[in-house]
């Protein structure tokens, strides 16, 4: 169920602070209905809307550009948890450490009652690889500020194609795990028991240790292969969701441009 929040009233301190820091370029809302605020692209938070479990607190994410350095940042405010998070994953290579420190200092000064967190790229989730795959096709700066929207749209479409291909690669890996792992482990077990079992009277108990050790190593390798397949699926989904987010921002920018120029 959506929570109706007047953004200008609920986040007045945040908006005022960011107006001194730099302009807001786009907003992502999760279960929050927009009230008065800056006339910028507004889109849903795709990551959390796709989860469907509704255990995520309503929040708003803002893309903001520092006026002095032109660096980009993403700030997520969760009023119910008194938490503000600076997401450095979505703005990878779009800001300097100095700009990030200035933003942290500003938020800590203006919001002493909030926990200020900085989200760094997760190695386990492959977030840096996802960010680099996105940057290789289109930058967040072009999506938010680029003047040739048609050219940027073509770049975003290429990114979406890559995300689709990544998802298909993950399907191949998952299919291989499901169809090959069990028969191969079974066949290997039979072979080990037959070959090493014939030597067991002479070899003693150490052959039993070798037998189970080899099966354990083979099982661990298949487990690792399966985890990598799941990880590839997750990364492919995140690349595709990023392309969907970029397309929504471009669509909103085009709509706002038509409103500003009076074109239908």
Quick: pLDDT tens for 57-94: 888 899 999 999 999 999 999 888 889 999 999 999 99
Strands 83-87 and 115-119: parallel
Q: Assess whether 9 and 112 both reside in one domain.
A: yes
Query: Is the pLDDT confidence value at 212 over 80?
Result: no
Question: What is the structure's pLDDT at 189?
Answer: 67
Question: What is the structure's pLDDT at 259?
Answer: 85
Which residues are registered as beta bridge partners of 62?
Answer: 27, 75
Residue 134 resides in a domain? no
Q: Assess whether 47 and 105 both reside in one domain.
A: yes
Residue whose pair of structure tokens reads 């108990």 in the numeric block: 205
C-alpha distances out from residue 197 to 184, 193, 210, Å: 19, 5, 11
Percentages of the chain per state (helix, strand, coil), in multiples of 5:
60, 15, 25
Q: Assess whether 114 and 168 both reside in one domain.
A: no
**Which of 120, 135, 169 finishes a domain?**
120
pLDDT, averaged across the chain: 82
Q: Assess whether 255 and 199 both reside in one domain.
A: yes
Mean of the pLDDT values across residues 227-231?
77
Question: What is the structure's pLDDT at 2?
Answer: 47
**Which of 93, 120, 147 finishes a domain?**
120
Q: Which residue has the higher pLDDT, 229 or 175?
A: 229
Lowest mean pLDDT across 66-70, 168-172, 182-186, 249-253: 182-186
Number of domains into which the chain is organized: 2
For residue 94, what is the DSSP state?
Answer: S
How far, in Å, CA of 135 to CA of 139, rounded? 5
Is there a contact between 4 and 33 (Cβ–Cβ < 8 Å)?
A: yes
Residue 151 resides in a domain? no
Residue 229 resides in a domain? yes
Residue 218 resides in a domain? yes
pLDDT digits (tens, 9 = 90+) for 18-27: 888 999 999 9
Q: Assess whether 47 and 110 both reside in one domain.
A: yes
Q: Assess whether 109 and 179 both reside in one domain.
A: no
Residue 255 resides in a domain? yes
Residue 72 resides in a domain? yes
Is there a contact between 21 and 48 (Cβ–Cβ < 8 Å)?
A: no
Residue 128 resides in a domain? no
Q: Assess whether 116 and 173 both reside in one domain.
A: no
pLDDT digits (tens, 9 = 90+) for 131-141: 999 999 999 99
Range of the domain at 96: 3-120
Q: What is the DSSP string of 1-66?
A: -PEE--HHHHTHHHHHHHHHH--EEEEEEESEE--S--SS-EEE-HHHHTT----SPPEEEEEEE-
How far, in Å, CA of 130 to CA of 235, rounded? 6
Residue 214 resides in a domain? yes
For residue 68, what is the DSSP state?
Answer: T
Q: Assess whether 28 and 102 both reside in one domain.
A: yes
pLDDT digits (tens, 9 = 90+) for 85-131: 999 999 999 999 999 999 999 999 988 889 999 999 988 888 898 99
């Amino acid at each position: 169920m959506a929570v109706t929040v007047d953004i200008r009233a609920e986040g007045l301190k945040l908006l005022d602070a960011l107006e001194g820091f730099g302009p807001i370029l786009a907003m992502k809302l999760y279960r929050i209905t927009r009230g008065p605020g800056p006339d910028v692209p507004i889109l849903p938070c795709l990551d959390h809307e796709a989860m469907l479990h509704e255990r995520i607190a309503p929040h708003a994410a803002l893309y903001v550009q520092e006026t002095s350095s032109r660096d980009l940042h993403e700030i997520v405010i969760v009023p119910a948890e008194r938490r503000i998070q600076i997401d450095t994953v979505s703005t990878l290579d779009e800001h300097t450490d100095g700009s990030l420190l200035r933003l942290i200092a500003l938020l800590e000064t203006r919001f002493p009652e909030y926990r200020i967190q900085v989200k760094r790229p997760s190695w386990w989730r492959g977030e840096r690889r996802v960010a680099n795959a996105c940057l290789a096709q289109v930058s967040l700066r072009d999506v938010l500020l680029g003047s040739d929207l048609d050219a940027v749209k073509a770049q975003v479409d290429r990114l979406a194609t890559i995300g689709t291909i990544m998802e298909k690669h993950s399907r191949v890996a998952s299919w291989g795990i499901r169809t090959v792992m069990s028969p191969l482990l079974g066949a290997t077990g039979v072979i080990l028991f037959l070959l090493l079992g014939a030597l067991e009277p002479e070899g003693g108990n150490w052959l039993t240790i070798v037998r189970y050790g080899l099966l354990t190593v083979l099982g661990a390798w298949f487990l690792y292969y399966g985890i990598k397949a799941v990880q590839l699926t997750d990364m492919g989904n995140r690349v595709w969701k990023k392309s969907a987010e970029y397309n929504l921002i471009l669509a909103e920018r085009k709509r706002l441009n038509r409103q500003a120029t009076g074109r239908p």
